[in-house]
Amino acid sequence: MPASPHNILLFYGSYRADRAGIRLANYLTKQFQARGANAELIDAKVCNFPILDKMYKEYAPGMAPTHLETLANKIKAADAFVFVTGEYNWGPQPGLKNLTDHFLEEWFWRPAAIASYSAGRFSGTRSSFVWHAMLSEMGMIVVSSTIAVGGITKTLNENDEPTGDSGASLARSFPTFADDLAWWTEAAINQRKIKAPPF
């Protein structure tokens, strides 16, 4: 067990009125909390950032809009990140991509994990592949374990609880996913104690 609970931010990005992926985002947040982590869900639709015009770092200190300053501080204080992503035309959801692009150095030197989903059998994996490259470019270490949920409404019910065979499969896959992220999180925390990041 870590010396202190890990601070984990989970990001979710659908803006649809009838969005089912929020079930996976809620489920994962609850599961990390049950393991003792300080896990918080950041919902891009709730944040409702405007289309990127000026990044957080491009404001003078203390001059960034409140919504940017608040989230920047949460990102900087986090030990790890989880991105919960659907798939639009083989790509990532634009709301989550837009929110993520408002920051850069704030993400550096922490691990990230990706959980994807879809209504169909491909489970959002094509979006997951894209996110892997983007998060790496933004200074995160992306862990190898992933979660991919197909048939999202048949996997988690309206109370965010696993249901049926696919729900049981999700529940079995979560511990490995969480353990992988926890290992890299602890490694990053320990490394920062002995050596500052090179940039």
At 119, is the pLDDT very low, low, confident or very high (cuts 50, 70, 90)?
confident
In a domain, 122, yes or no: yes
Nearest to 100 by CA among 7, 199, 12, 197: 12
Q: DSSP assignment of 26-94, as one string? A: HHHHHHHHHTT-EEEEEEHHHH-PPSPSS-GGGSPTT-S-HHHHHHHHHHHH-SEEEEEE--BTTB--H
Please, what is the average pLDDT of the chain? 95
123 vs 101: which has the higher pLDDT: 101
Q: Say what percent of the chain tops pLDDT 70.
A: 98
In a domain, 76, yes or no: yes
Q: How far is CA 104 from CA 40, 54, 55, 56, 138, in A?
A: 20, 12, 8, 8, 6
Largest CA distance in the chain: 52
Q: Is the pLDDT assigned to residue 1 strictly greater than 60?
A: no
Domain that holds residue 159: 7-194
Determine the distance from the C-alpha atom of residue 70 to the mean position of all C-alpha atoms in its chain, rounded to a whole number: 17
Q: Is the pLDDT assigned to residue 199 strictly greater than 60?
A: yes
In a domain, 2, yes or no: no
Section 3-30 average pLDDT: 95
Contacts 24+ apart (CB under 8 A), 159-168: 160/23, 160/26, 160/27, 160/30, 161/27, 162/27
* Residues with Cβ within 8 Å of residue 140, at least 6 apart in sequence: 81, 107, 108, 110, 111, 112
Query: Total domain count for the chain?
Result: 1
CATH number for the domain spanning 143: value is 3.40.50.360
DSSP state of 107: G
What's the pTM value of the predicted model, to 2 decimals?
A: 0.95
Contact of 97 with 65, CB cutoff 8 Å: no
Section 81-89 average pLDDT: 93
φ/ψ (deg, to 5) at 195:
-155, 130
In a domain, 130, yes or no: yes
In a domain, 118, yes or no: yes
- CA gyration radius for the chain? 16
How far is it, in rounded angstroms, from Cα 119 to Cα 121?
Answer: 7
Give SS3 for 194: helix
In a domain, 199, yes or no: no
Q: Quickly count helices (H) and strands (E) in the chain.
A: 7, 5
In a domain, 138, yes or no: yes
In a domain, 109, yes or no: yes
